Structure 1
Amino acid sequence: MNAAQVVPYVTYPPRMGGDHRTHGLMKEFPELSDSVIRYCQGGTPAMYRSLDLRRHVTIADGYEERRHLHPIHEFPKAPMLLGYPNLFASTSLRLASDGLDTILNDADVVVVREPWQLPYVLDHAKPDAPVVYSSHNVETERFGDIDQPMCADRVAKRVDTLERRAVEETDAVICTGNRDADVYRDRYDPGGPMIVAPNGAYEDDVREHRPDSDGARRVRRKYDIADDATVSLFMGSNYRPNVEAAEAVVDIARNMTERDADFEFLILGDVGSALDDRHLPQNVTTTGYVEEDFESHFDAADVALNPMVSGGGTNIKLIEYFARSLPVISTPFGVRGIEVRDHEHVVVAERETTADEIEELGTDTDRRKRLGNAARLLTEEQYTWEASSRTVRSRLHELFGPF
């Protein structure tokens, strides 16, 4: 099978959760003798900052990323900085689509990330090539949680129109979970079957927690964190729901400064850039985007936090914590779509009681180990990218093969 994947920007190597889903869902295709060509409509700020202007990247044998870097794809993305969706992606493709039509013509199946590019793909794919919508969120929910300062009603209607077409006019829909699939069935009239492929972690990242490792000690020294301090970790990209959660972490940290024990908080990733360092309590450290010693930041933590209350899809960060055997305290919203049991795999708590839960876990090493190990086993059994990729590939062959 020759699979084409159409995405709104450069994905590899993945940095944010959506990039990991984009890459992870196709990861096993070349391992099982299929080929994948990913068409990227423009770049990312991180790519341009690094001056990585390659147009063609070979990820593995039979797995390529082709990048169409053109100003006409970048300028229409500017409203995204204000929280708007990428509504002009299909329009800019009609003005500049160098190489995409050839990729579509050679594909046996076309997988499109998110609804923004689908109008162009539906109009230009071969009549006999199935087009599959790869959903990362229910977009009407995701952007319903974000305030747009202008044209809110028009944006909401356009998002609904595009998502409706993505669900109703494609040959299949890939969802993050049964909950999203049910939402689509309730709101729209799906044109094809739903394929449930959960978010996950990479199999190579599933491991035991290593709090006594040299890397964990090195990270604590780097941020001047005492060996006996209880460290809570929050991780995220600079995405509005993550920013709201990071601000909640800061509030929790401020609340805990008056407690007798030493509680420290690490905010890992680009989300820290959205916080005002001048007003952070002394027990909060923001790291920014981390490459060196990335894994050791998980080992330096005792507890992971997931205080999410908005956004769409399922939280990839939750599975990333689980994969490293970290005990997690999450809001009920933060565990949506993940088959967990409270106090067995995770501690489910509202933001208002998170400080008390951190204090309790911080004094109970055995409980932390039990939670972390149970969460890791759950990840191994149900939530790896490799398993989701194999599921998607198998279903596509079953539905649309032989190729």
Structure 2
Amino acid sequence: MNILAIPTTVGLSKPQSGGQNRFCNLVKCQAANNRIVVLEPDHLHDESDDDVARVYIYHDIEALQKRLSIFRDINPDFIRKAARIIRDEEIDLIQITHPSGAMAARMLGLLTRRRIKIVYDAHNVESEFIQQTFANHDHYSPMERKLIPAYTNLLERISCRYLFDHITAVSDNDADTFRRKYHLKDGMISVIPSGCNIRSRISDEAKNKIREGMGLCPADIAVFFHGLYTHPPNREGFDLIQTDIAPRFADTNPNVSFIVGGTRVPKFEEANIRSLGFIADIQNISGADIAIVPLRSGGGTRLKIFDYMSAGLPIVTTKKGIEGIDAENYEHAIIVDDIDEDFIAGIRYLIEHKDERKRIGENARALAEAKYDWRIIGGKLEDVYRTLVPESSIHYNNSA
């Protein structure tokens, strides 16, 4: 099968966000049995992308020194490049991560008389996600905060109702939201959760070196959180650690340090909090003892949860933080309603019970291995695609 994969605000390789991680790994999975072509914005292209798939690039529309990524349906360069790919690569299916571009893709399919299936690989419910992220973001003007969510909502509604052949959601909750908002017909949507690459266990010596790099002593207990700093739900989590969570342990547990980091996270050290800034090697999370996910909002599935599960870390999280993952409370994680006294009590429980840290962490890793390995997720997506594009209609392009 010849598949055209189109990301929006992420590139193909060197993932720096959950959405990019999902896109990159799904492309790698599908490349095992299909021919994959990727069309991505030029400013997100990296030389290593070409090692993963055949890559074409296009220029985003720009105005007032801003990239207008979501206006791909009227972007001449995007339309020209997509038309070339559909024609030359004999595309059978288009996998797109955002409603923008779906209208152009559908029109190109009709003009070329190709029965191309368009699948919306939804990392979240975009109309709700954009409302949350734009609502209180000072980077955008008041007009942008009104216009962009309204346009995205309209675009998603039209695309889901009339343009997409199928939608893949990352959780049952997102799937239910799509069905409710857009009155989707039966069989229109499938749940394809996100996943992780199961990391090899590291030796005690390697773990101790990581901890030394974090400035930790052998007796210290490290509580870890990471994420994209500019993403509002993550930013709220970072702020809550600084202002509410970490201070609760400063006097009662002097051997507990809160370690944070991630993309665009500033480096700093204060009281019992240490920020590592950008974390080049996510394997460094293996130096922690406990992971926390203090999130109250956001859509989709938090891929940081999978990082922690794969590393065998016990997790304290809100229900929102672990949404879309089949984890049981006190078996695979400690799961609470909100960032409140129960959240603090969950952290204290793991601090005080080393055996429970090990048990819950091992259970989490076992769950990731059994249900959320990217190879398993990729197989589920492959099954969906094979249903949409029967063998008799598949084109076989053997060009290099």
- What range is the shorter-chain TM-score in? 0.7 to 0.9
- From 165, 188, 203, give the equivalent of 2:182: 188
- Check the 8 A contact 1:200/1:385 in 2, yes or no: yes
Offset, 1:96: 4.9
- Check the 8 A contact 1:270/1:289 in 2, yes or no: yes
Q: How large is the RMSD of aligned CA atoms in angstroms?
A: 2.4
Q: What are the superposed Cα offsets for residues 258-287 of structure 1, whole Å, 9 maximum, x if unpaired?
A: 1144110111211523x8x4xx63221111
Q: Where does residue 336 of structure 1 map in the other structure?
A: 323
Which residue identity lines up with residue 82 of structure 2 in the other structure? Answer: L
- In 2, Cα distance between equivalents of 1:223 and 1:119: 49
Within a 5 Å distance, the mapping from 1:340-359 to structure 2 comes to 340-349=327-336, 350-353=338-341, 354-359=343-348
Matched, 1:101 2:122: no
Q: Please state whether the residue corresponding to 1:339 is helix, strand or coil.
A: coil
- Check the 8 A contact 1:10/1:42 in 2, yes or no: no
> More displaced, 110-119 or 351-360?
351-360
- Check the 8 A contact 1:42/1:73 in 2, yes or no: no
Offset, 1:378: 1.1
Q: Where does residue 260 of structure 2 map in the other structure?
A: 267
- Check the 8 A contact 1:135/1:173 in 2, yes or no: yes
Q: Where does residue 83 of structure 1 map in the other structure?
A: none
Q: Please state whether the residue corresponding to 2:270 is helix, strand or coil.
A: coil
Which residue identity lines up with residue 250 of structure 1 in the other structure? Answer: Q
Which residue identity lines up with residue 11 of structure 1 in the other structure? Answer: L
Which residue identity lines up with residue 189 of structure 1 in the other structure? Answer: H
- Check the 8 A contact 1:176/1:198 in 2, yes or no: yes
Cα 1:56–1:309 shift into 2, 3 Å: closer
Matched, 1:389 2:372: no
Q: Where does residue 237 of structure 2 map in the other structure?
A: 245
- Check the 8 A contact 2:117/2:388 in 1, yes or no: no
Matched, 1:254 2:247: yes
- From 184, 192, 210, give the equivalent of 1:219: 210
Within a 5 Å distance, the mapping from 1:69-84 to structure 2 comes to 70=59, 72-73=60-61, 78=66
Cα 1:75–1:43 shift into 2, 3 Å: farther
Offset, 1:39: 0.8
Offset, 1:65: 2.8
TM-score, normalised to structure 2, is: 0.86
- Check the 8 A contact 2:124/2:170 in 1, yes or no: yes
Q: Please state whether the residue corresponding to 2:167 is helix, strand or coil.
A: strand
- Check the 8 A contact 2:222/2:257 in 1, yes or no: yes
Q: Where in structure 2 are there 5+ consecutive unaligned residues? A: 395-400
The alignment of Structure 1 onto Structure 2 pairs a total of residues equal to 374
Cα 1:77–1:134 shift into 2, 3 Å: farther
Offset, 1:172: 0.6
Offset, 1:131: 1.0
- Check the 8 A contact 1:198/1:388 in 2, yes or no: yes
- From 219, 232, 235, give the equivalent of 2:223: 232
Q: Please state whether the residue corresponding to 2:276 is helix, strand or coil.
A: strand
Q: What are the superposed Cα offsets for residues 21-46 of structure 1, whole Å, 9 maximum, x if unpaired?
A: 112223222322x11011102324xx
Matched, 1:66 2:56: yes
